[in-house]
Amino acid sequence: MAYHKQMIPHEASPLHVSQNPKDAGFYNNPYAFYARLHALDAPVYWKEYGLWCVCGFDSVNNALRDDRFARLPPAGMPMPEHPPHLSDFAAVERHSLLALEPPKHTRIRKTVNQAFVNRHVTQMATDIEVLANRLIDGFESTNEIDLLKAYATPIPVTVIARLLGVPECECDSLLAWSHAMVRVYTMTQTKQEELDANQASKEFQQLLFDLIRQRRKSPTDDLLSHMVTLKTDPLSDDEIVSTAVLLLNAGHEATVHQIGNAIHTLLALNWPRTWVDDEKHGNAIVAESMRFDAPLHLFTRYAQQDVELHPNIVIQKGEEIALLLGAANRDPRRFNQADTFKPDRTDAASVAFGAGLHFCIGATLARLEMRIALNTLFKRMPDIKLAEQPQYQNSFHFHGLQSLNVKW
Sheet holding 405-407, edge to edge: 144-146, 405-407, 385-386
Least separation in angstroms between residue 2's CB and ligand HEM is: 32
* 125 in contact with ligand HEM (CB under 6 A): no
Following CA atoms 166, 172, 177, 180 in sequence, which dihedral angle do they give, to the nearest 10 degrees? Answer: 150
Sheet holding 51-54, edge to edge: 16-17, 44-46, 51-54, 320-324, 298-303, 69-70
Determine contact, residues 201/58, Cβ cutoff 8 Å.
no
* 185 in contact with ligand HEM (CB under 6 A): no
Among 51, 161, 228, 247, binds ligand HEM (CB under 6 A): 247
Residue least distant from ligand HEM (Cβ): 362
* 98 in contact with ligand HEM (CB under 6 A): yes
* 187 in contact with ligand HEM (CB under 6 A): no
Kindly report the CA angle at 359 between 190 and 101, in degrees rounded to 5? 75
Q: Which is nearer to ligand HEM, 178 or 258 (CB)?
A: 258
* 362 in contact with ligand HEM (CB under 6 A): yes
Q: Which is nearer to ligand HEM, 23 or 320 (CB)?
A: 320
Q: Which is nearer to ligand HEM, 199 or 265 (CB)?
A: 265
Among 157, 182, 246, 313, binds ligand HEM (CB under 6 A): 246
Alpha-helix residue ranges (DSSP H) falling in 47-190: 57-65, 87-93, 104-118, 125-139, 147, 154-164, 171-182
DSSP single-letter state for residue 235 = P
Size of the site for ligand HEM (CB under 6 A): 25
Determine contact, residues 179/204, Cβ cutoff 8 Å.
no
Containing H/E element for 320? Answer: strand 320-324
* 398 in contact with ligand HEM (CB under 6 A): no
Among 51, 60, 131, 160, binds ligand HEM (CB under 6 A): 160
Among 52, 204, 299, 378, binds ligand HEM (CB under 6 A): 299
Please report the beta strands in 3-100, taking only residues with DSSP state E, as ranges in sequence order: 16-17, 44-46, 51-54, 69-70
**Exposed, middle or buried, 75 (CB in 10 Å: 0-12/13-18/19+)?**
exposed
Stretch that binds ligand HEM, among 24-32, 171-179, 186-194, 291-299 (CB under 6 A): 291-299
What is the distance between the alpha carbons of residues 362 and 179, in angstroms, rounded to a whole number? 19
* 109 in contact with ligand HEM (CB under 6 A): yes
* 343 in contact with ligand HEM (CB under 6 A): no
Of 60-79, binders to ligand HEM (CB under 6 A) are 64
* 366 in contact with ligand HEM (CB under 6 A): yes
Kindly report the CA angle at 98 between 222 and 110, in degrees rounded to 5? 50
Among 42, 97, 197, 307, binds ligand HEM (CB under 6 A): 97
Question: Site residues (CB under 6 A) for ligand HEM?
Answer: 64, 97-98, 109, 160, 246-247, 250-251, 254-255, 258, 294-296, 299, 352-354, 358, 360-362, 365-366
